[in-house]
C-alpha cells in the first residue's frame, strides 16, 4: 500500500512557511490536506494552499495554535488520518502526541515517551550521559532558588549559560559574564521560558570557549532502524538564534563525523526514537573540530527549520520520510545508502531591523519578490499584500542555495539575497548579504560569537541616510505631485478645452525653476532640491552626497503617499513632509519620551511617577514574539508620566515612560 492509502488525509497543526512546506509534499503524495488557522491567518497562503481549512481561534497562539483540544476536535471533524505538527507550537508536546494516539490519529513524529525523555534539557543530558554521550559540565538539577543557582554558577566558573529546561530557538537562554549580572539574567530566562514553553525552570552550564554549533540529523523507524543524514553547522547565531545554517559543516573530518554520528544515533536509540530528530552538539572550536571536544546540548524531537540544507545535499525529502515512517513503513535506508553531494546554505530572512537592535518589524508587505535560478530554493509562507503581525515568529522566508562547493553555494546565496525585494516591514536582508561576503565567515575559522564580534562591520547599527534612495523616491513623489496638479487644474477648467500649458511633459518654453521639496525620511525632516536639465531632473540633498548605484534602487508604493526605496537590501521610507502630522513629543526635542519599539505586551515596569533615574537604567520590559525587549532611560531625569501598566498591550510607538528634567 502507498503512503496515501495508509494515511489518506493530513492535518497540519502549524502555520506559515512550514505549513506550506508540508502541504507541498503531502499533495505530491496524494494526501488530502487540512489546515487550521487563527483569525490573523484567515487569508494566509497556507490556508489558500490546503484542500480544507478550519478556524481554531483568535490571533494569540495560546488561544489557537497551542490549543490542543481545538486542533484535535477539528481533526476528528475533518476525518484526518494523521497530524503533522511542523516545528514550534505543539511539535514537542508529549501530551499532544499522546492525545493524538488516544484519538486514533497518527502523530507524525516520535512517540510521546521519546518527546518526554528529550523534552527537558536536564533529564535529556542525564539520559544520554548514561549512553556514553559527552555532555557540557553544569548543574541540571531540580533546585531553582536564585541563591543556589548563583552558587552553582560560581562553582562552574564564569562565563555561564542559563537555559530554560524546555527551551529552544534561543528563548529562555542567557549568557552571563559576571556574578553581579546573574540574578537579573536568571529572572529574564525564567520569565521567557514560562511565556514560551509554560515552564520557567532552568539549568546552568559552562560556556564553551570558541563554540561551534554542529547538529546531526537523525531518522528512526518503528522497525529498529536508526541512521543519520550528516551534519549541519549552525554557528552563525545572534543571541543564540540561528541566522545562517549550512551542510556539511566546514572543516568536518570523517573521524569527527563518525564520532558525532555515532553519539547522535546512540542518543536516539536510547529513547526508542522514531521519525525525524536532530541531536545538537556544542564543539570547542579553538583547534578545529575534534572528536574529543564536542558535547551534547539537546535533542529536538521534530523537523528543524534548517532541514532544507540536508535535503539539498542528500536529495531526500525529509517530510516524505516522516510520512513514510508514520505510516509504519521501514526507512528503506542503511547508513551506507546515505550520500552527500555538494554544499548547501540557508539564510533566515526575518522582518526585523538590524539597525535598531534587530527589533521585530511588523506591517503590510507592499512588495515581495524572490529570484529563481539554478541551485536556489525559497521556502515562504507569505506573499505580497500579506501582513507580518506581532503575534508569531517574524520569518518572511528561508533562502537556500546549493552548489558544488561551499564558495559556489555562498556566491549563489549572496546573489539571490541581492535580487530579493521586500517592501514594508524592515528586514535583515542587507545584514544577511553582508554575512555571505564576510571574509571571516568565508575563510574561517568562525564560531557562535562571530556575529557579535563583527556587528559593526556587518552593518547592524544605525547607518547614514541613503541619499541615492531618497533621491529616487523624491523624483517619484514630484512626478506624482505634478500629475495631481494637472488633474486638479483640468477639473477646475469645468469642461473647457484643456490648455497646452497644463500638459506634464518634457516640453516647456521657459526653463523650469529649481524646486525645494520638504521630505519626511524614516521619520526625520530632510530638504531635497530638484533641478531640471536637458537630460532630465537631478536631486540634491544639502549635506549629503549622492553616490552611484541609482539603477539598483527599487521603489514600492505604500499607503498615504509614501514610497519605499529599496537599495542594497536596506529600505528607506520617503514621503512629502506634512507639518500637520508632526509628532509633537518628538518635536519637543527633550529626548525623554520612551516608546514601545514594537507592538507587544508590557510585562514589567520598574519605575513610578516621581522616581529619579539615570541614563541606561532599566525602565520597563516589552514582550513581543516570545522575546523580551528592555527599555532603558535615554538620559538622566525624573519620571513625569507612566503611559501604560504591566499586562497591557502597547502599540508600536506608544508612550511607556515620559522623563522630565
616-628 exposure pattern, b = at least 16 Cβ within 10 A, e = fewer: eeebbbbbbbbbb
Q: Give me the chain's average pLDDT, please.
A: 90
Low-confidence winner among 392-406, 436-450, 621-635 (lowest mean pLDDT): 621-635
CA distance 338 to 315: 9
At residue 502 the predicted structure's pLDDT band, cuts being 50, 70 and 90, is: very low
In this prediction, residue 102 has a pLDDT band, given cuts at 50, 70 and 90, of very high
Q: Which CATH number is 137-206 given?
A: 3.30.1490.20
Q: What is the pLDDT of residue 506?
A: 47
- Residue 587 pLDDT more than 50? no
Q: How confident is the model at residue 52 (pLDDT cuts 50, 70, 90)?
A: very high
CA distance to 25, 319, 320, 342, 364, per residue, from 316 (Å):
12, 9, 8, 14, 35
Instruction: Say whether pLDDT at 581 is over 80.
Output: no
Q: What is the distance between the alpha carbons of residues 224 and 222, in angstroms, rounded to a whole number?
A: 6
Task: Convert 49-66 to b/e letters by CB count within 10 Å (16 or more is b).
Answer: bbebbbebbebbbeebbb
Q: How confident is the model at residue 543 (pLDDT cuts 50, 70, 90)?
A: confident
- What pLDDT, in 10s, does the model give residues 639-659? 999 999 998 888 878 899 999
- Among 48-62, 290-304, 618-632, the minimum mean pLDDT is found in 618-632
Asked whether the CA dihedral 350, 353, 359, 362 is positive or negative, the reply is: negative
Q: What is 583-660's CATH number?
A: 2.40.50.100
Q: What is the 3-state secondary structure (H, E, C) of 266-308?
A: HHHHHCCCCEEEEEEEEEECECECCCCCEEEEEEECCCCCCHH
pLDDT digits (tens, 9 = 90+) for 132-164: 888 888 898 889 999 999 999 999 999 999 999
Asked whether residue 534 carries a pLDDT value surpassing 70, the answer given is yes
Q: Phi and psi at residue 333, in whole multiples of 5°?
A: -130, 135
**pLDDT at res. 507:** 47
The answer to whether residue 495 scores a pLDDT higher than 80 is no
Alpha helices (H) along 420-497: 429-437, 439-443, 450-453, 467-492
Average pLDDT over residues 11-31: 98
513 pLDDT band, cuts 50/70/90, is confident
DSSP string covering 59-115, please?
Answer: SSGGGTTT-HHHHHHHHHHHT-SEEE--SSTTTT-HHHHHHHHHTT-EESS--HHHH
- As a CATH number, domain 342-429 is 3.90.1170.60
pLDDT in tens, 109-137: 999 999 999 987 778 888 888 888 888 88
Kindly report, residue by residue over 447-474, the tens digit of the pLDDT: 999 999 999 999 999 999 999 999 999 9
Averaged pLDDT for residues 541-545: 84
Banded pLDDT at 300 (limits 50, 70, 90): very high
Q: Stretch 39-50: mean pLDDT, rounded?
A: 97
Contact (CB, 8 A) for 14 and 373? no
What's the pLDDT band for 589 if we cut at 50, 70, 90? very low
Separation of alpha carbons 148 and 315, rounded Å: 49
Q: Is 302 a catalytic residue?
A: yes
With a cut of 90, say whether residue 70 has pLDDT above it.
Answer: yes
Assign domain 3-108 one CATH number from 3.40.50.1370, 3.40.50.20, 3.90.1150.10, 3.40.50.300. Answer: 3.40.50.20
**pLDDT higher than threshold 60 for residue 501:** no
Query: What mean pLDDT is predicted for residues 27-32?
Result: 98
Residues in a beta bridge with 288: 286
pLDDT value of position 588: 44
**What is the per-residue pLDDT for 196?**
79
Domain ranges for the chain, please list them: 3-108, 137-206, 342-429, 467-580, 583-660
> Comparing 215-224, 361-370, 560-569, 588-597, which segment has the lowest mean pLDDT?
588-597
- Residue 598 pLDDT > 90, yes or no? no
Residues 78-92 have a mean pLDDT of: 96
Which one of the listed residues 32, 302, 377, 426 is annotated catalytic? 302
Amino acid at each position: 500500500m502507498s503512503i496515501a492509502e495508509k494515511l489518506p488525509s493530513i492535518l497540519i497543526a502549524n502555520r506559515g512557511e512550514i505549513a506550506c512546506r508540508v502541504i507541498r509534499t503531502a499533495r505530491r503524495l496524494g494526501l488530502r490536506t487540512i489546515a487550521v488557522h487563527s483569525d490573523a491567518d484567515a487569508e494566509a497562503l497556507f490556508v489558500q494552499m490546503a484542500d480544507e481549512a478550519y478556524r481554531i481561534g483568535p490571533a494569540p497562539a495560546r488561544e489557537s495554535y497551542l490549543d490542543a483540544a481545538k486542533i484535535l476536535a477539528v481533526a476528528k471533524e475533518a476525518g484526518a488520518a494523521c497530524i503533522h505538527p511542523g516545528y514550534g507550537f505543539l511539535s514537542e508536546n508529549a501530551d499532544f502526541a499522546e492525545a493524538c494516539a488516544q484519538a486514533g490519529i497518527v502523530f507524525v513524529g516520535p512517540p510521546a515517551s521519546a518527546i518526554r525523555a528529550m523534552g527537558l534539557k536536564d533529564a535529556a543530558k542525564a539520559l544520554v550521559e548514561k549512553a556514553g554521550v559527552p555532555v557540557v559540565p553544569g548543574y541540571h538539577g531540580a533546585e531553582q532558588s536564585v541563591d543556589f543557582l548563583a552558587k552553582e554558577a560560581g562553582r562552574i566558573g564564569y562565563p555561564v549559560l542559563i537555559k530554560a529546561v524546555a527551551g529552544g530557538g534561543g528563548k529562555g537562554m542567557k549568557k552571563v559574564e559576571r556574578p553581579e549580572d546573574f540574578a537579573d539574567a536568571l529572572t529574564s530566562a525564567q520569565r521567557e521560558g514560562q511565556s514560551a514553553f509554560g515552564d520557567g525552570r532552568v539549568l546552568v552550564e559552562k560556556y564553551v570557549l570558541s563554540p561551534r554549533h554542529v547538529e546531526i540529523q537523525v531518522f528512526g523507524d518503528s522497525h529498529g532502524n536508526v541512521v543519520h543524514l550528516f551534519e549541519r553547522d549552525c554557528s552563525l547565531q545572534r543571541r543564540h538564534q540561528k541566522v545562517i545554517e549550512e551542510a556539511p559543516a566546514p572543516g568536518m573530518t570523517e573521524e569527527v563525523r563518525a564520532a558525532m554520528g555515532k553519539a547522535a544515533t546512540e542518543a536516539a536509540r536510547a529513547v526508542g526514537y522514531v521519525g525525524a530528530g536532530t541531536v545538537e552538539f556544542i564543539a570547542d572550536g579553538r583547534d578545529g573540530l575534534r572528536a574529543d571536544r564536542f558535547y551534547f546540548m539537546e535533542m529536538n524531537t521534530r523537523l528543524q527549520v534548517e532541514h532544507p540544507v540536508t535535503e539539498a545535499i542528500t536529495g531526500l525529502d525529509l517530510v516524505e520520510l516522516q510520512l513514510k515512517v508514520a505510516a509504519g513503513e521501514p526507512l528503506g535506508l542503511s547508513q551506507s545508502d546515505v550520500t552527500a553531494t555538494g554544499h548547501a546554505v540557508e539564510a533566515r530572512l526575518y522582518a526585523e531591523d538590524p539597525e535598531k537592535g534587530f527589533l521585530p518589524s511588523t506591517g503590510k508587505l507592499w512588495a515581495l519578490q524572490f529570484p529563481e535560478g539554478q541551485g536556489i530554493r525559497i521556502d515562504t509562507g507569505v506573499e505580497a499584500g500579506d501582513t507580518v503581525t506581532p503575534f508569531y515568529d517574524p520569518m518572511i522566508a528561508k533562502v537556500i542555495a546549493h552548489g558544488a562547493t561551499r564558495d559556489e553555494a555562498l556566491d549563489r546565496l549572496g546573489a539571490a539575497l541581492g535580487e530579493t525585494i521586500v517592501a514594508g516591514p524592515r528586514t535583515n536582508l542587507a545584514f544577511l548579504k553582508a554575512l555571505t561576503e564576510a571574509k571571516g565567515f568565508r575563510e574561517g575559522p568562525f564560531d557562535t560569537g562571530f556575529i557579535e564580534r563583527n556587528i559593526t562591520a556587518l552593518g547592524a547599527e544605525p547607518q547614514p541616510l541613503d541619499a541615492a534612495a531618497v533621491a529616487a523616491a523624491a523624483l517619484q513623489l514630484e512626478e506624482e505631485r505634478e500629475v495631481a496638479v494637472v488633474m486638479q487644474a483640468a477639473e477646475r477648467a469645468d469642461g473647457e478645452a484643456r490648455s497646452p500649458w497644463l500638459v506634464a511633459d518634457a516640453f516647456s518654453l521657459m526653463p523650469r525653476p529649481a524646486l525645494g521639496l520638504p521630505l519626511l525620511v524614516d521619520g526625520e525632516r530632510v530638504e531635497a532640491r530638484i533641478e531640471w536639465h536637458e537630460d532630465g531632473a537631478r536631486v540634491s540633498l544639502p549635506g549629503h552626497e549622492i553616490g552611484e548605484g541609482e539603477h539598483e534602487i527599487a521603489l514600492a508604493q505604500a499607503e498615504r503617499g509614501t514610497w519605499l526605496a529599496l537599495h542594497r537590501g536596506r529600505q528607506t521610507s520617503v514621503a512629502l513632509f506634512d507639518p500637520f502630522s508632526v509628532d509633537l513629543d518628538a518635536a519637543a526635542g527633550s529626548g525623554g519620551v520612551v516608546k514601545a519599539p514594537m507592538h507587544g505586551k508590557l510585562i514589567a515596569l520598574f519605575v513610578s511617577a516621581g522616581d529619579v533615574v539615570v541614563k541606561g537604567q532599566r525602565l520597563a520590559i516589552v514582550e513581543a514574539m516570545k522575546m523580551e525587549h528592555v527599555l532603558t532611560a535615554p538620559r538622566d531625569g525624573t519620571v513625569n508620566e507612566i503611559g501604560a501598566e504591566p499586562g497591557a498591550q502597547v502599540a508600536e510607538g506608544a508612550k511607556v515612560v515620559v522623563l522630565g528634567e
